[in-house]
Amino acid sequence: MKNVILIDDDEISNFVNTRLFLQSKLVDTVHSIQSSEEAIEYFGDIHSGKEPAPYLVLIDIRMPVLDGFDLMGEIFGRYPGLGEKSLFYFLSSSIDPKDVARANSEDFCKGFLRKPLSRSILEEILG
């Protein structure tokens, strides 16, 4: 069972991406998270086994309070070992090369994905 977690403060972005994943039939479930607090809480549940570990995690970079990098740093700092269980991708509309470079330099990160997602991208990362 392939489940996906989307972390993005943009409600519409989450909605659209959820639809895309579900329509593609490449995944079984999509869980979208809209704030960093919620994300930390959810991963705490994953860590304690309450929630299943996701197959794929897409994280937005530009978010209020904590940005994508800081958020993941916080999560991995609190719950070590999570990084190996899932595929992590950063997903952003940013065209700032610094963001791309930083995303690629993170160990846990499989890659940087630029919005909007498309079916072909999904096939690539899930295939």
The contact set with another protein (CB under 8 A) reads: 9-13, 15-17, 19-20, 23, 34-37, 62-65, 92-96, 98-99, 115-118
CB of 85 to another protein, least distance (A): 26
In the complex with another protein, the residue whose CB is nearer, 20 or 87, is 20
Minimum gap (Å) between residue 59 Cβ and another protein: 15
Residue 44, CA distances (Å) to 16, 40, 48, 58, 92 in order:
26, 6, 6, 17, 24
Nearer to another protein, 2 or 115 (CB): 115
Of 124, 118, 111, nearest to 23 (Cα)? 118
Instruction: Select 52 or 116, whichever has its Cβ closest to another protein.
Output: 116
Cβ neighbors of 102 (< 8 A, separation 6 or more) are 69
* Residue 42: alpha-carbon gap to chain centroid: 12
